[in-house]
Amino acid sequence: MAQITIDGSTPVTFHCDETDTIMRAALRSGIGFPYSCNVGACGNCRFQLLEGEVEHVQTSPRAWTERDEKRQRYLGCQARPKTDCRIKLRTDEQYEPGTRPLPAMARLLAKTALTHDMTEFALELDTPLSFLAGQYALLGTPAIDSPRAYSMCNVSGGDTQWNFQIKRVPGGAMTEQLFDHLQPGDTLTFDGPFGTAYLREDSDRDILCLAGGSGLSPMIAIARAAAEHPQLRQKRLDFVFGGRRPEDMCGEDLLGELPGFGTTLHYHPAISEDVPADEWVGLRGFVHDVASQLFGEELRDREIYFAGPPLMAQAVQKMLFDLKVPFDQVHFDEFY
Ligand SMILES: Cc1cc2nc3c(=O)[nH]c(=O)nc-3n(C[C@H](O)[C@H](O)[C@H](O)COP(=O)(O)OP(=O)(O)OC[C@H]3O[C@@H](n4cnc5c(N)ncnc54)[C@H](O)[C@@H]3O)c2cc1C
Ligand code: FES
């Protein structure tokens, strides 16, 4: 067990197992260590190593540059301690976890197809644990090099069942395991919950959820939790879901089960590919354009949650920036 000290006027110390990463160990100790993706791609967890030795879990994480290496900067979600360490970074209370993440074992209970390439996976953990709507967990199997992040779609009852809506990625290592190899009864490694794009229960604003493809799961969780919440269920919630083609569309039946569907809760499916008029009669365009056309400057008064592939996330951020939507009303974890 290594001792990690975060330098500062009041140094903070915590312990990190040699098999754990410094960022996850900090969160397990309740420390607000900044992060987003948890898979070495966004760079938000970067810290400076002042003393000691670390190694990254992945040999070349996407967000780690030559410049970082020269300056002794590492990624907290990837760095495992080889010795006691002293590090420099600015902690932030917005990252302090509501539920401290824990590693666990998960058993696959069921797979339910949603579309030709989206499936809901129900997992049962070996220990009860709660999470907030919009958060994610890390799932892995011995067949893949490092775990992948997946967002939960159910509302946590603090029990053992966690459900995930996952899109198959052609050539993807983990989705191939999930879709083609794992069967009910098989086990996966699990670590969670993580993520800061959770439902803000204290907000008084109407809500907008924007989901593109693989981003469906956390937005369904937000809509489900809002529909159960005594104050938020009286607010308007618009749910824009974007896919390429009509066969990618899903979510309407899941939202249709919720109270308020059609009155306070509105579903807006949109496709981005140019298909003939007799194949699609609904909205067309990318999610950010559709949201901007439907709501425009009204978005400044909304609490906004979004999830989806990196290009969609960039386009949504730009659209919200151009519309001058206050950044503290916008919630997302970066997908990769
Ligand atoms: C915070 C967060 C939450 C997420 N939530 C969800 C969710 O709820 N649902 C969901 O479906 N996804 C989610 N994701 C995405 C998910 O974590 C995975 O990235 C995704 O499922 C792909 O994983 P994979 O192992 O199947 O693909 P990978 O093996 O990681 O491959 C990804 C892509 O890279 C290509 N590739 C792989 N290896 C190589 C190589 N050597 N050279 C060139 N190209 C290569 C593959 O062909 C594929 O296109 C989330 C991601 C993050 C960060
Ligand atoms: S790179 Fe570590 S949280 Fe994204």
- For the chain, 336 residues long, give each residue's pLDDT as a single digit of tens: 999 999 977 889 999 999 999 999 999 999 999 999 999 999 999 999 999 999 999 989 999 999 999 999 999 999 999 999 999 999 999 999 999 999 999 999 999 999 999 999 999 999 999 999 999 999 999 999 889 999 999 999 888 999 999 999 999 999 999 999 999 999 999 999 999 999 999 999 999 999 999 999 999 999 999 999 999 999 999 999 999 999 999 999 999 999 999 999 999 999 999 999 999 999 999 999 999 999 999 999 999 999 999 999 999 999 999 999 999 999 999 888
Domain termination residue (choose one: 151, 167, 194): 194
User: Structural domain of residue 86, as residue ranges?
Assistant: 2-95
Please check whether residue 201 lies inside any domain of the structure: no
174 lines ligand 1 (CB under 6 A): yes
Q: Provide DSSP, 116-137.
A: SSEEEEEEEESS-----TT-EE
Do 168 and 262 belong together in one domain?
no
Neighbours of 326 (CB within 10 A): 10
DSSP string, 297-319: GGGGGEEEEEE--HHHHHHHHHH
Find the angle CA(213)-CA(217)-CA(218) to the nearest 5 degrees.
Answer: 115
Same domain, residue pair 240 and 157: no
Ligand closest to the CA atom of residue 137? 1
Q: Is residue 200 part of a domain?
A: no
Query: Ligand 2 pocket test: which of 21, 22, 24, 39 has the largest number of ligand atoms within 8 Å of its C-beta?
Result: 39
Three-state secondary structure of 232-287: HHHCCEEEEEEECCHHHCCCHHHHHCCCCECCCEEEEEEECCCCCCCCCCCEECCH
> In terms of domains, do 312 and 288 share one?
yes
In sequence order, the β-bridge partners of residue 105 are: 189
117 lines ligand 1 (CB under 6 A): no
Atom of ligand 1 nearest to the CA of 176: 26
Task: State the greatest distance between any 2 C-alpha atoms of the chain, in Å, as a whole number.
Answer: 66
Could you tell which of 175, 191, 254, 333 is best to mutate to test the pocket of ligand 1, judged by most ligand atoms within 8 Å of the CB? Answer: 175
Q: For position 330, what pLDDT does the model report?
A: 98
- Expressed in angstroms and rounded, the spacing between residue 146 Cα and the centre of ligand 2 is 13
Q: Is the CB of 44 under 6 A from ligand 2?
A: yes
**Residue 164: nearest ligand to its CA?**
1
In angstroms, what CA-CA distances link 190 with 149, 160, 173, 257, 309? 10, 12, 16, 29, 22
Shared domain check, 159 and 64: no
Asked if residue 232 is part of any domain, the answer here is: yes
Q: Check whether residue 325 and residue 260 sit in a common domain.
A: yes
- Tell whether 336 is covered by a domain: no
Check whether residue 71 and residue 7 sit in a common domain. Answer: yes
Residues 6+ apart with CB under 8 A from 295: 208, 238, 302
Judge if the beta carbon of residue 152 lies within 6 A of ligand 2. Answer: no
User: How many domains is the chain built from?
Assistant: 3
Q: Is 74 in the pocket of ligand 1 (CB under 6 A)?
A: no
Are 7 and 88 within one domain?
yes
Alpha helices in 44-103 (DSSP H): 66-70
d(CA 143, CA 163): 21
User: How far is the C-alpha of 13 from the C-alpha of 3, rounded, in Å?
Assistant: 7
179 and 285 within one domain: no
Same domain, 73 and 23: yes
- Is 170 found in the same domain as 134? yes
Ligand 2, closest atom to CA 42?
4
Ligand 2 center to residue 77 CA distance, Å? Answer: 6
297 CA distance to ligand 2 middle (Å)? 32
The label of the residue with tokens 């749910």 reads 239
List the one residue out of 45, 54, 57, 48 whose CA is nearest residue 81: 54
Measured from the alpha carbon of residue 138, the closest ligand is: 1
d(CA 235, ligand 1 centre) in Å: 34
Do residues 90 and 118 both lie within one domain?
A: no
Q: What is the CATH number of the domain that holds 310?
A: 3.40.50.80
- Do 244 and 327 share a domain, yes or no? yes
Question: Which of 95, 122, 152 is a domain's end point?
Answer: 95
Q: What is the CATH number of the domain that holds 67?
A: 3.10.20.30
What is each CA distance from 329 to 80, 206, 224, 230, in whole angstroms? 34, 11, 19, 20
Whole-angstrom Cα distance, residue 162 to residue 254?
16
- Domain boundary among the residues 166, 194, 222 is at 194
The bound ligand whose nearest atom lies closest to the alpha carbon of 44 is: 2
Q: Is 174 part of any domain?
A: yes
